[in-house]
Amino acid sequence: MTAPTVLPAVTDREPPLPEPLGPDVVAEYGTELQTTRVLRAPDGGFLWWHGPGAQVPGPLLAPAAQLVPLLPDDTGAALLTVPRRAGEGLLHRVAGPASAAAWLRDFRPQARALVAHSLVAAARALRALHAVPAPPPGSLPLGAPPGLGRLRHWARGSGGLHERVLAHWGARRMERLLGWADDLAPDPAAGRPPAGLTPVHGWASLGALVPPLSRGRVALLTGEDLGLGRPELDLGWLLGELVELAWTTPHQEPSDLQRLLLDAYGSGPDPVRVGRSAVLRVVTHMQDFAAYRGWDDELLGYIAFTAELIDEEGRRAVPQGES
């Protein structure tokens, strides 16, 4: 296989575009972490703008976006969309107005087929991203993905959720979780990184995966959370979302989608690390919800659920131990 073409390093050197506003907005939502705005583009496509939430100082940047491979149309891989700066946020051009997460709430068979197709495309794109050589240490501001940074900060801190979690989990589960985070995406401050690290998407999720509305390619919004880690981190992140979906929505059975993702990615990933990454994803979502939306009694259920996931090392995310 030939090495993937990598985009030129221009993303954060170009002058920013204006923040997109106006009558063409078709959706807007967010938390105190991030705001998302979706607009119709003049060419018939769509613009996805991510801006800083109330607790996040702007502007948002994608300083390592030049590592993202430019994948030809005939690869069957999702388009890894590199954003342009726009106002205080980042702007992606895609072919759809709704994410795979939204399509999964549509129970028509064709909607689930569209999600399945998108997951296969995402797996192929992630495989190509993980094949990009890691840059030399210090050449780019590339460390552990921001989501894991927030998780580490919360796990070593205090606060209402932290206290409730420790009371239910015990300190040993928290220590295991931090150990998994250090293995999958080491903190750069901890010393020289181990072998086996690659560029990782950092937030490979159903919410960042955008199927086309009619024509065009599946897109995986890429850039804001790029980091350095093990490939299993990105796979587990997506699989963890499917596990969480099955728990919160009992009529959702994710095993077919999990297998499609793993089969499309191919051999190589360690299933144990993939499962542990899935646990990190669910815990990060729990922590982010409490931090950026506030306390909800639903989090009590999450505390118990995540304790189960830690104890089983996320095995339910990797059907029949496949990888």
Q: How confident is the model at residue 282 (pLDDT cuts 50, 70, 90)?
A: very high
Looking at residue 85, its pLDDT comes to 95
Looking at residue 15, its pLDDT comes to 83
User: Average of pLDDT values for 3-31?
Assistant: 75
Looking at residue 141, its pLDDT comes to 77
Average pLDDT of the residues of the chain: 92
Read off the pLDDT of residues 157-193 as tens digits, 9 standing for 90 and up. Answer: 989 999 999 999 999 999 999 999 999 999 877 767 7
Looking at residue 195, its pLDDT comes to 83
Q: How confident is the model at residue 320 (pLDDT cuts 50, 70, 90)?
A: confident
Using CA atoms, how far residue 149 sits from 4, 59, 141, 146, 188, in Å, is 29, 18, 14, 5, 11
How far apart are the C-alpha atoms of 199 and 131, rounded to whole Å?
Answer: 8
Q: How confident is the model at residue 8 (pLDDT cuts 50, 70, 90)?
A: very low
User: Average of pLDDT values for 298-318?
Assistant: 97
Looking at residue 3, its pLDDT comes to 47
Strands 219-221 and 79-81: parallel
Judged against a pLDDT cut of 70, whether residue 11 lies above it is answered with no
How far apart are the C-alpha atoms of 211 and 96, rounded to whole Å?
Answer: 6
Looking at residue 33, its pLDDT comes to 96
Look up residue 153 and give its two tokens.
Answer: 């900060």
Q: How confident is the model at residue 90 (pLDDT cuts 50, 70, 90)?
A: very high
Looking at residue 4, its pLDDT comes to 52
Domains belonging to the chain, first-starting first, are 5-321 (3.90.1200.10)
User: Average of pLDDT values for 195-207?
Assistant: 95
Judged against a pLDDT cut of 50, whether residue 314 lies above it is answered with yes
Strands 198-200 and 227-229: antiparallel
7-11, 15-19, 96-100, 118-122: the lowest-pLDDT one: 7-11
For 78-134, give the DSSP string: PEEEPPEEETTEEEEEES-SS-HHHHHT--SHHHHHHHHHHHHHHHHHHHHHHTSPP
Residues above pLDDT 70, as percent of the chain: 94
Judged against a pLDDT cut of 70, whether residue 13 lies above it is answered with no
Read off the pLDDT of residues 214-244 as tens digits, 9 standing for 90 and up. Answer: 889 999 999 999 999 999 999 999 999 999 9
- Read off the amino acid at residue 188: P
| Cβ-contact 37, 20 below 8 angstroms | yes
How far apart are the C-alpha atoms of 159 and 290, rounded to whole Å?
Answer: 10
Read off the pLDDT of residues 247-272 as tens digits, 9 standing for 90 and up. Answer: 998 777 899 999 999 999 999 999 99
Look up residue 219 and give its two tokens.
Answer: 């897109």
